[in-house]
Structure 1
Amino acid sequence: MAMDSNRLPRFFSLLLFAAAVLFAPALAEIRSTTIRSDARSIIPFDEFGFTHRGHLDLSLSSIVFSNPNADLTQVGFFLTTRESWYHVLEQLNQGEIGCSVQSEFVKRVFTFDQIKGDSFDTSFNVSDSNQLTLVFGNCVRDLKISMNVYSSMYNLDTKSGQRDYLSAGKTSLPWIYFLLFITYVAIAVAWIYVLYSKLLSVYRIHFFMLAVVLLKALNLVCEAEDKSYIKRTGTAHGWDILFYIFSFLKGITLFTLIVLIGTGWSFLKPYLQDKEKKVLMIVIPLQVIANVAQVVIDETGPFGQDSYTWKQVFLLVDVICCCAVLFPIVWSIKNLREAARTDGKAAVNLMKLTLFRQYYIIVICYIYFTRVVVYALETITSYRYQWTSILAAELATLAFYVFTGYNFMPKAHNPYFAIDDEEEEAAAEALKLEDEFEL
């Protein structure tokens, strides 16, 4: 059965919600939401991975309807999975139901005809293990509602009975982040030892590398504490502020480090060209915007009215930053190729060229894995194993840090600068063969 024109806009709004659910991360903290004169047919709140001992607590206050005589059996809260929501869309499309709240495919928490005043409290037990989204449905046309909503979703520990406010697939994140923090601290200590033992071969960029590792470690320990507090209490208790600060600094310093290494700063030359400075002037402000977008998304929830726009801003900025940091590496490779043919030091420049080619490939692999592969892994992985995609991204980052440090570490006899005559001749021959192959 085809939909009539009056139901078409509502159907598309429901379809948009389905897309939002599909691409939204699972959040877990206790959330307070204020709704004012809102006539949307669907208002999604948070998504949460429940175990068989899951609970939802809802507290509503200051409830006001634009039409007190409306049919409130068609207004209420319900829980739904992504798969179930597609069935609801199909029912609405075929005209089998007129209201999503009444569908048998959703877990109805309550409808507003049960409310006898301007406030309401309820607790809903979830006995089926699944990832569910809390949704407010309003099937009464032009009915505007105002209310304050306090929502809390959690699981009860099977042994202690304590509340766990982290989603079922992310409850192990505090330990994962803490172990990664210990790993980066060990790397920082090892790097300090390398700098001390090779002091005569240390450049300024090596100290910058140390700063990047330390900021990453601080970011991880704040993330571990943030998730730990959320797990126990449902709120971050200020640790999220520290996490945002160190995440911001870590993001800026990491992209700056890639640009500086890519330009050969401190290794090949003690200065930056104007075009390289412009890349940094683009990357750093973009990282500020990206971090602002991430804070807004986290604090307003995945389904806030402006969250979709901020997600697009974050994605666009991230793509621009990833592309921008590749240009300096390409410029260095081009300059080294030209120098290898003209300055009589073919072997030296060929070795540098090989190093920068390798680094270019690794940067591309790192960006591709953390932006594409991790996203695909998050999409196809069961909600119970959401931690695996986070761990995969962190391990990829760790491998990138180790690769960068190992290849650009200070060395007393750097193979890229100390080359004998035989190697020089071999490198010149290699360049000659490469030119013939290109021709």
Structure 2
Amino acid sequence: MAFSSSLLSHLFLSLFLSLLLSFPFSSAEIRFSEIRSDGRSIIPFDEFGFTPTGRLELNVSHISLSNPSPDLDLSQMGFFLSTRDSWIHVLNQIQDLDITCVLQSDLIKVVYTFNNLAGNSSFNSLFKEPDAGQFTLVFANCLPQIQVSMDVCSAMYNLEGKNTRRDYLSAGKTILPRVYFLFFLIYSSLAGLWIYLLNKNRLTVFRIHFFMLAVLLLKALNLICEAEDKSYIKRTGSAHGWDVLFYIFSFLKGISLFTLIVLIGTGWSFIKPFLQDKEKKVLMIVIPLQVVANIAQVVIDESGPYAQDWLTWKQVFLLVDVICCCAVLFPIVWSIKNLREAARTDGKAAVNLMKLTLFRQYYIVVICYIYFTRVIVYALVTITSYRYLWTSLVAGELATLAFYVFTGYKFRPEVHNPYLVIDDEEEEAAAEALKLEDEFEL
């Protein structure tokens, strides 16, 4: 009976690790982790894409066990590397009772087991990984009655070039500094073009246009900080403070983008100089949720999956992000509904309905943008080979760029503003089109 309970515990925690492996971790680097009185059978750390010159440096200190005794089999506690495919086979081995401890499997790569401590409370290990692949560093504890405390410093990197420089970015992310810098140049160019349009069409510039410029600038600053962040990690294994700037601008960019979508959806400054109470409530919901989402993102990136609350924060982030994405759609729907009702009661409003079919287009584009960046990109991360992990990130950035370009082009300042310029022929054509649309619906 005790063996069955142990087996169920192993299976549960193995499934837990499999769930963790389905999430894309943050970029691997030199990471310091503190484990305190942890009784988990499986503690995942970092995931990394190794080349044939991959290395793992593991420095573990202040190791202490609860209820230690001389007869403990410490070979059942230690660190190992595993790929996702190998882990699935290990689960089958445990289920078929071929093994009772993960460290007994020949499908994983054992880095260090505690029976080699020889009474010491610390160890240093350099593990050379000759096989290219995506590996996860994991600690296994197959002694359910024992809790472990330790300080773990892990560094995973690949050697490149004749001088064997260390590259602390995963094999699938090593070109990200250049990718983010390229997108920074693109957004900086768009910001310059937007400033030119604002100066050229000063008479038709609304407040929303200046807000759109701010969103562009924040996105550009976010990208340059991310490029520098990844560049320092690539060379040194540490962000050297660039991660702080990245989180700040990421926070401001996220809030400003969601706010912009809400403001455009309400027609603020284009159609009306104020927001209704229900529209203000949407902003009051979205902005605090964005604060929570950014806090969750910082915790996820900085703590890593070894933290006991990591999965909880991940779920909080996903839930809050979904709520924000749904909330920003309501103002667009309300605007379309109000314009349609006005068009049915006021002949002069018919052309507004025809001109503001742009709201329908914008609604569809926002949905496509949210779906692609939240679902398609995530799917690409899970199915793409670790060598080409950068392609999913590029796909997400291209989708974001397309959304920014569409928004800027459709809502740019113009001398003949489609919201304001109305002639009699357009009015009659719009009214006739609306009448035909009503007959078609009937």
Report the TM-score when normalising by structure 1: 0.97
Count residues in correspondence.
437
- Which secondary structure state, in structure 1, belongs to the residue aligned with residue 33 of structure 2? strand
**For residue 62 of structure 2, what is the aligned residue in structure 1?**
62
CA distance in 1, matches of 2:252, 2:349: 39
Contact 2:255 2:287 in 1 (8 A): yes
State the 1:425 CA deviation: 1.5
State the 1:24 CA deviation: 3.5
State the 1:181 CA deviation: 0.4
State the 1:68 CA deviation: 4.2
- Which secondary structure state, in structure 1, belongs to the residue aligned with residue 16 of structure 2? helix
- Equivalent of 2:429 in 406, 422, 426: 426
State the 1:86 CA deviation: 0.8
Shift of the 45–65 alpha-carbon distance from structure 1 to 2, 3 Å rule, reads same
Contact 1:337 1:349 in 2 (8 A): no
Q: 1:429 corresponds to which letter in structure 2?
A: E
Report the TM-score when normalising by structure 2: 0.97
**For residue 40 of structure 1, what is the aligned residue in structure 2?**
40
Contact 2:296 2:317 in 1 (8 A): yes
- Equivalent of 1:313 in 302, 313, 316: 316
Question: Higher mean Cα deviation, 365-374 or 411-420?
Answer: 411-420
CA distance in 2, matches of 1:366, 1:347: 29
Structure 2 residue 397 is matched with structure 1 residue 394: yes
CA distance in 2, matches of 1:406, 1:164: 40
State the 1:46 CA deviation: 0.6
Contact 1:20 1:303 in 2 (8 A): no
Runs of at least 5 residues in structure 2 that lack an aligned partner in the other structure: none
Q: RMSD value over aligned CA atoms?
A: 1.2
Question: For 1:359-438, what aligned pairs fall within 5 Å after superposition?
Answer: 359-438=362-441
- Which secondary structure state, in structure 2, belongs to the residue aligned with residue 4 of structure 1? helix
**For residue 111 of structure 1, what is the aligned residue in structure 2?**
113
Deviation string 1:48-105 (CA, Å, 9 cap, x unpaired) is 0100100000011111122142111111111000110111111111110111011000
Q: 1:27 corresponds to which letter in structure 2?
A: S
**For residue 141 of structure 1, what is the aligned residue in structure 2?**
144
CA distance in 2, matches of 1:180, 1:372: 22
**For residue 71 of structure 1, what is the aligned residue in structure 2?**
73
- Equivalent of 1:193 in 186, 193, 196: 196
Q: 2:185 corresponds to which letter in structure 1?
A: I
**For residue 174 of structure 1, what is the aligned residue in structure 2?**
177
Question: For 1:157-172, what aligned pairs fall within 5 Å after superposition?
Answer: 157-172=160-175
**For residue 343 of structure 2, what is the aligned residue in structure 1?**
340
- Equivalent of 1:87 in 86, 89, 105: 89
State the 1:427 CA deviation: 1.2
- Equivalent of 1:124 in 102, 123, 127: 127
CA distance in 2, matches of 1:278, 1:230: 41
CA distance in 2, matches of 1:211, 1:309: 33
- Which secondary structure state, in structure 2, belongs to the residue aligned with residue 23 of structure 1? coil
Q: 2:426 corresponds to which letter in structure 1?
A: E
State the 1:26 CA deviation: 4.9
Contact 2:41 2:141 in 1 (8 A): yes
Contact 1:212 1:250 in 2 (8 A): yes
- Which secondary structure state, in structure 1, belongs to the residue aligned with residue 173 of structure 2? coil
Contact 1:56 1:153 in 2 (8 A): yes
- Which secondary structure state, in structure 1, belongs to the residue aligned with residue 287 of structure 2? helix
Deviation string 1:111-157 (CA, Å, 9 cap, x unpaired) is 11111311100100001000000011111231122111110000001
Deviation string 1:231-272 (CA, Å, 9 cap, x unpaired) is 001111010000000000000000000000000000000000
Question: For 1:2-41, what aligned pairs fall within 5 Å after superposition?
Answer: 4-41=4-41
Structure 2 residue 289 is matched with structure 1 residue 304: no
State the 1:158 CA deviation: 3.5
- Which secondary structure state, in structure 1, belongs to the residue aligned with residue 170 of structure 2? coil
State the 1:346 CA deviation: 4.3
State the 1:159 CA deviation: 3.8
CA distance in 2, matches of 1:26, 1:210: 30
Contact 2:17 2:42 in 1 (8 A): yes
Contact 1:347 1:419 in 2 (8 A): no
State the 1:6 CA deviation: 3.5
Question: For 1:320-359, what aligned pairs fall within 5 Å after superposition?
Answer: 320-359=323-362
CA distance in 2, matches of 1:249, 1:203: 22
Q: 1:99 corresponds to which letter in structure 2?
A: C
- Which secondary structure state, in structure 2, belongs to the residue aligned with residue 12 of structure 1? helix
- Which secondary structure state, in structure 2, belongs to the residue aligned with residue 6 of structure 1? helix
- Which secondary structure state, in structure 2, belongs to the residue aligned with residue 417 of structure 1? coil
CA distance in 2, matches of 1:208, 1:47: 39
State the 1:414 CA deviation: 1.6
CA distance in 1, matches of 2:142, 2:287: 46
Q: 2:13 corresponds to which letter in structure 1?
A: S
Contact 1:337 1:353 in 2 (8 A): no
CA distance in 2, matches of 1:388, 1:159: 27
Shift of the 303–24 alpha-carbon distance from structure 1 to 2, 3 Å rule, reads farther
Contact 2:344 2:350 in 1 (8 A): no
Question: Higher mean Cα deviation, 398-407 or 342-351?
Answer: 342-351
State the 1:438 CA deviation: 1.2
Q: 1:396 corresponds to which letter in structure 2?
A: A
